[in-house]
C-alpha cells in the first residue's frame, strides 16, 4: 500500500476548519469560550459512542445494542448512587462491568449460534432498552452526587472535564489495536477470517472479545451521558446507532472489518458536534442533523466504492498484521 496516500481524517479535518471559518464570519458567538465548551461536550460523548461501534466493526461485526447497553448501565449506576448510596467509583465500576457482561452475552450468542450479529444485537438491544424502561417505569434517578455530575458538565475554561476521559479512552483503544496481541488478532479476523482460521487462531474468541470491549465502551458512553444530564434516564441511547456508525465510518473505519482509524473517529465527532451547534446558532431545526449524518455516511461509502478502496487508517489507527 502506497505511503503517499492521505489519511482518511484529513478531509474531515479540512471540513471542520472550513466550517469554523464560515461560522466565525456568520456569527460572533461561534468561537466564544462557552460555545467551544458546548461543541467539545457533545464531541466527547459522540466519540465514545462511535468507539463502541468501531470495536465491533474492526472484527467485521455490527452492533445495534449500543444504545440499550448504555441505558442499562446508566440506570444501574444511577440506582446505586442515588438509592444504594454507594461511593461513586464503585457505582461507575459496576456500571462498566454490566456493560462488559452485556457485550459478552452478545458475543457468545453470535459465536455459538452463528446467527448474524445484526439480528442478535437487534434483539438484545431491544431487550436491554426494555429492561431499563421497565426497571425505572420511565422515572429517572436524579440528585446524583456532585462528584459524578461535575465530571459530566464541569469545565476548565473552554474545555469540558469529560473530554479528557474521552481522549484517554480513544488513545487506549488505539494502543490496544496497534500493540496488543488480542487487538491485532481482532483486526486480523476482520481482515481475513478464513486465513486466521487456517492459521489456527480462534475467530469466535476474537468476536466475543470485540463485543465485550464494545459493551464496556457503550457503558462508558452511558455513564458520560448520565453525568451530562445530571440524571439516570432510560431514554439514553435511543439515537446512538446512527451516531455510532456515522462517527466511525466517516472517520475512516472500514465497514468490512480489519481497519480502524482513531484520529478519524475523534475528528468526525468534532465535525458532527460543529454541525449540530451551527444549526442551533443559525436557528435551523437541529433535527436536520440526522439528515446530515445519513448523507455523510452515504458519501463516504460511495466515495470508497468509486475509488475502489475502503477507508484507510491514519496515525494512532489499527491495522491487520501478521501474528507471530
What does the pLDDT look like over 228-257, one tens digit per residue? 999 999 889 888 988 898 899 888 888 888
Other Cβ atoms less than 10 A from the Cβ of 12: the count is: 25
- Residues 39 and 44: their CA atoms lie apart, in Å, by 9
Angstrom distance (rounded) from CA 210 to CA 187:
10
Kindly indicate the confidence band of residue 138, based on its pLDDT and cuts at 50, 70 and 90. Answer: confident
DSSP states along 159-227 = EETHHHHHHHHHHHHHHHHHH-HHHHHHHHHHH-HHHHHHTT--HHHHHHHHHHHHHHHHHHHHHHHHH
> How far apart (Å, rounded) are the C-alpha atoms in residues 74 and 72?
6
DSSP 3-state of 319: strand
Structural contact between residues 180 and 270, judged by C-beta atoms closer than 8 angstroms = no
In a domain, 119, yes or no: yes
C-alpha neighbours within 13 Å on the C-beta side of residue 73: 34
- Residue 134 falls within a domain, yes or no? yes
Specify the pLDDT at position 324. Answer: 36
Please state, in angstroms and rounded to a whole number, the distance separating the CA atoms of residues 106 and 312. Answer: 28
Q: Is 206 inside any structural domain?
A: yes
CA 206 to each of CA 40, 189, 196: distance values in angstroms, whole numbers, following the listed order: 33, 7, 10
**199 pLDDT more than 60:** no
53: confidence class by pLDDT, cuts 50, 70, 90: very high
The Cα-based distances of 204 to 46, 73, 220 in angstroms read 29, 25, 25
In a domain, 138, yes or no: yes
pLDDT digits (tens, 9 = 90+) for 81-115: 999 999 999 999 999 999 999 999 999 999 999 88
CB environment 274-293: b (16+ within 10 A), e (fewer): bbbbbbeeeeeeeeebeeeb
CA distance 276 to 42: 9
Q: How many domains does the chain contain in total?
A: 1
- Determine the structural domain holding residue 157 and report its residue range: 31-241
Q: Pick from 322, 321, 181: which is nearest to 259 by CA?
A: 321
Give yes or no for residue 193 having a pLDDT over 90. no
- For the chain, the first-to-last Cα distance in angstroms comes to 21
Beta-carbon count within 10 A of 195 CB? 13
At 225 the pLDDT is: 96
Across the range 142-148, mean pLDDT stands at 92
Mean pLDDT to the nearest integer, 164-189: 93
What is the distance of C-alpha 218 from the center of its chain? 7
The pLDDT assigned to 297 comes to: 63
Contact between residue 154 and residue 161 where contact means Cβ atoms under 8 Å apart: yes
- Do the domain assignments include residue 318? no
pLDDT digits (tens, 9 = 90+) for 21-51: 877 777 778 888 999 999 999 999 999 999 9
Report the chain's mean pLDDT, rounded to a whole number. 84
Residues above pLDDT 70, as percent of the chain: 83
Helix (H, G, I), strand (E, B) or coil at 155: strand
**Residue 277 falls inside a structural domain:** no
Q: What is the pLDDT of residues 254-284, one digit of tens each?
A: 888 888 889 989 988 998 888 888 878 877 7
Pick from 15-19, 68-72, 236-240: least confident? 15-19
Q: What CA–CA distance (Å, rounded) separates 19 from 36?
A: 13
pLDDT, position 311: 45
pLDDT of residue 296: 65
279 within some domain: no
Nearest to 272, CA basis, from 51, 55, 47, 68: 47
Whether 49 contacts 301, CB under 8 Å? no
More confident residue, 252 or 159: 159
**25 is a domain residue:** no
Query: Which residues, at least 6 apart from 281, have a Cβ–Cβ distance to it below 8 Å?
Result: 23, 26, 27, 29, 30, 35
Of 226, 238, 216, 218, nearest in space to 77 by CA: 226
For 173-185, write each residue's pLDDT tens digit.
Answer: 999 999 998 998 8
Amino acid at each position: 500500500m502506497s505511503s503517499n496516500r492521505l489519511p482518511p481524517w484529513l478531509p474531515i479535518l479540512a471540513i471542520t476548519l472550513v466550517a469554523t471559518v464560515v461560522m466565525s464570519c456568520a456569527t460572533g458567538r461561534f468561537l466564544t469560550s462557552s460555545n467551544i465548551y458546548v461543541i467539545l461536550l457533545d464531541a466527547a460523548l459522540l466519540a465514545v459512542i462511535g468507539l463502541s461501534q468501531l470495536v465491533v466493526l474492526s472484527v467485521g461485526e455490527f452492533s445495534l445494542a449500543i444504545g440499550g447497553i448504555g441505558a442499562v448501565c446508566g440506570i444501574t449506576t444511577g440506582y446505586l448512587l442515588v438509592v444504594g448510596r454507594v461511593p461513586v467509583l464503585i457505582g461507575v465500576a459496576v456500571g462498566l462491568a454490566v456493560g462488559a457482561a452485556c457485550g459478552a452475552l452478545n458475543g457468545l450468542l453470535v459465536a455459538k449460534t452463528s446467527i448474524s450479529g445484526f439480528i442478535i444485537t437487534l434483539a438484545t438491544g431491544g431487550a436491554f432498552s426494555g429492561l431499563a424502561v421497565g426497571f425505572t417505569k420511565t422515572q429517572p434517578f436524579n440528585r446524583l452526587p456532585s462528584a459524578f455530575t461535575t465530571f459530566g458538565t464541569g469545565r476548565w475554561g473552554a474545555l469540558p472535564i469529560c473530554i479528557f476521559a474521552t481522549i484517554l479512552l480513544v488513545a487506549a483503544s488505539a494502543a490496544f489495536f496497534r500493540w496488543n496481541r488480542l487487538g491485532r488478532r481482532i483486526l486480523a479476523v476482520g481482515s481475513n477470517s478464513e486465513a486466521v482460521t487456517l492459521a489456527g487462531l480462534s475467530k469466535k474468541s476474537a468476536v466475543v472479545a470485540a463485543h465485550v470491549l464494545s459493551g464496556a465502551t457503550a457503558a462508558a458512553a452511558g455513564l458520560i451521558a448520565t453525568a451530562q444530564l445530571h440524571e439516570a434516564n432510560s431514554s439514553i441511547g435511543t439515537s446512538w446507532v446512527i451516531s455510532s456508525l456515522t462517527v466511525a465510518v466517516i472517520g475512516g473505519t472500514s465497514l468490512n472489518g480489519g481497519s480502524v482509524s482513531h484520529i478519524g473517529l475523534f475528528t468526525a465527532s468534532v465535525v458532527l458536534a460543529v454541525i449540530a451547534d451551527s444549526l442551533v446558532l443559525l436557528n435551523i431545526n437541529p433535527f436536520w442533523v440526522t439528515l446530515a449524518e445519513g448523507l455523510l455516511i452515504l458519501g463516504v461509502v460511495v466515495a470508497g466504492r468509486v475509488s475502489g478502496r475502503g477507508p484507510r487508517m491514519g496515525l494512532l489507527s489499527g491495522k491487520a498484521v501478521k501474528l507471530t
